[in-house]
Chains A and B, each alone.
Chain A
C-alpha cells in the first residue's frame, strides 16, 4: 500500500490514560518545592548522573555524528511510518508473533487483559515500560482480578510504596536509600528486620523477594525500546536482569509499544545502542540488552504478542512543529539536566512523562486543551540544556514556544473576554513597539518604588502577576530606567563632563 495520503484529512484523535496533569504545573510545583528532602534527593541524583553522562559522552569522538544519524533516522521513520508499520507487521507475524492494534489506552488495556485471561493465569510479571505506565495497565489489570508485579528495582520500590514514578528511567529517583530501606521493611513480606540502607544490600533484598516470582511466572508484560521494521525484531534495554527473566522464562510474552518506536532496520541499531546507554545511565553500555524476533522454537516464550499503541501519537504526528517529540528514545537526559525538573521533581508534571520531554509530549498526545496540560509548556526557563543533552536532537525549547502559542490561540478562541495575559501582552506589545512609548512607561518607575515601600520590595502583585510574587519578592524598580541612565551617561561621557544626574531625575 502506498503511504501517500489520499483520503479526507481527519481531525486528530488524542490519547488518554496517565498523561494528564491533574492540577496546573505552577500549583503542583509550588507544593513539591516545599519538600526539602525531595529536592535534596533529586539534586544528588541528577548531579551524579550528569557527571557520568558527560564523561562517557566525551569519550566518543563521533558523538555529534551519532546524534545527527539518530535524528535523521527518526525523522525518516516518522515520514515513512505507515509503510514501516506494515513492513514490521509482516515480519513480526512471519516470525510467529501476533500483532494487536490499540487506538487508545482503554483498548490496549482490554487487549492485554484478554490475552492474560486466555492463559488462565491471574498473575503477570512486568518489565519496566513507559507505555504500560501511560495506559494505566496495572490498575486496569487489578480491577480485572489480575495481579501485575513490577520487577525493576525502582518500579518495585514505587509499587511497594503505593507511590507514583517521578522519573522515566529511575522512577524512584525521589527516594533516598534510607527511605527505600524503610519501604522494604514496611511492605516486603519477610524482609530482614536488620536490613541496612547500603544499596547493595537493598538490591539483594529485591533479588530474594522476586526470585520465586520469576521462576514460576507464566505470563510477562514488557515494553520495547526498539522495533526493527525489516526483520520484525524487538529490543529491550535493561540493567538488572529482570528484563531477561521476563523475556525468557515465561510461556507467554505480551509487549506493549507505541507506534513511534520503529527503526527501519538492523544497521540503525548500531546508532541507537551507542546513543541510549550513554545518555541514560551514563554507562558505555547497559548490562543487558535482549533482542527477539517472533518465536524461537525451544528458546523463550512460545506465545509472543505485541500491542501496537496509538493513544495520541497520530495526533502528535499531525503537528508539524511538534512531531519530532515522537523521536524521543526515553533516555531521560533532558530531565537530568533540567533546572526546573531538578527542583520540582517528576510528580509536579502529573503525566507519566515528566521533565522537558513531558512538557511537550503530554500536551501533544492529549491535546493542549486537556485538563491542566496547557500549563506544561510554561514549565521551562527555555535555557536549552535539554536540547544540548538530547541524543536525537529534539529541539525541545522550540516546541515549548510553539505549544505556548498553540495554547494562547486555543484560549483566545474559547474566551469572549480577553484574559489578563492577553491584556498584559497587548500592553507590552504597545509599549515595546516604540522607544517613545517605552520611555513613557518608564516614567512610571518611581511609582513602583512607592508601591514597594521602605524595604524596597514588592511582595504582592495584583491579578495574574500575583503567581510570581507568591513565592518570591520583587525588588522595587530602579528609580531610573536603564535606557534613561544610558542616555544620561552617554551624553555625559560625550561632553567629557562629570555631571551625574541626581537620583530620581529624568533624562
Chain B
C-alpha cells in the first residue's frame, strides 16, 4: 500500500467511532462599525506602536511626501504597476522597475536603498497591511530585500478588524501580511525591531 493510502486508512480507522463535526459558532465580531476617521486614527496608533513611521496626507501631496521620506536614498525599486506620478518628486533618483517578466536579481534588490509599493487592504485593529502581489505591489521579494519599505495605504482600503479585511482579499494570491518592521522576541521575550526584513517601514495613508 502507498504511504498515502496507508495513512488515510489509519486515519479512517482512528475515526471508527464517527465523531460528529460540530456547527461552527461564529459569534465573534464580523466588523468594527468604525467610520473612516476612526479607522485611520486606529491604524496610525497601532503602526506607531510597532515603531513604524506613519503620515496621513491628501492624495495630491503623495509625491512630495514620498520624496521627503526618501531623502538620503539614491536608488529605489518599484513594481511595474505603481502609479508613475507617485515618484514625481524623486526625479533625480535612480528608479528601477521590477516585474515578473523582468525581475531584478536578488543582489540588485539588496543594493537599492528603498522600495515603494501600494497595498491591497489594511487592518486597523491589528496595524496590519496586506500585500497581494497585484501589479502595484509586485513580487514578494521586492518588499522584502531592500532595507527601507515605503508602503502606501488608501484610507478606503482600511478595514476595522481582520474578518472584514480577509473578505476583501483573494486568498489564493501570494500574500504577505505586514505588521510593523521586522522584529524578534527571541531574546528574553522582549520585542526588538529590525532583523531580516526591512528595518525601516514608512506607511503613507492617503485620503
Residues in A lying within 8 Å of B, measured CB to CB: 3-10, 12-13, 41, 44-46, 48-49, 52, 61-62, 65-66, 68-69, 72-73, 75-76, 78-82, 85-86, 95, 100-103, 107, 151-154, 157, 170, 172-173, 176-177, 180, 199-200, 202-204, 206-207, 210-211, 214-215, 228, 231-233, 239-242, 244-245, 247-249, 259, 266-271, 273-274, 277, 281, 283-293, 296-300, 308, 310, 314-315, 317-318, 320, 323
Contacts and interface: CB of A to CB of B under 8 A. Distances in A.
Contact of A315 (B6, B14, B22, B183): B14
A101 B174 contact: no
Contacts, number: 284
Contacts of A314: 7, 10-11, 13-14
B22 A76 contact: yes
A46 B26 CA distance: 31
Contact of A69 (B14, B27, B103, B162): B27
Interface in B125-167: 125-128, 133, 139-141, 144-145, 162-163, 166
* Majority DSSP secondary structure for residues of B touching A: loop
Contacts of B183: 239-240, 287
B35 interface: no
A463 B100 CA distance: 72
Interface in B20-65: 20-29, 46, 50
19 contacts: A5-B13, A76-B24, A82-B15, A86-B8, A102-B3, A103-B6, A203-B195, A240-B195, A241-B182, A241-B197, A259-B11, A269-B166, A273-B162, A284-B46, A287-B181, A289-B176, A297-B100, A299-B133, A314-B13
A202 B194 CA distance: 11
B144 A241 contact: yes
A244 B174 CA distance: 11
Nearest to B16: A5
B166 to A, nearest CB: 5
B9 interface: yes
B195 to A, nearest CB: 4
B117 to A, nearest CB: 13
B104 interface: no
Nearest to A62: B28
B84 interface: no
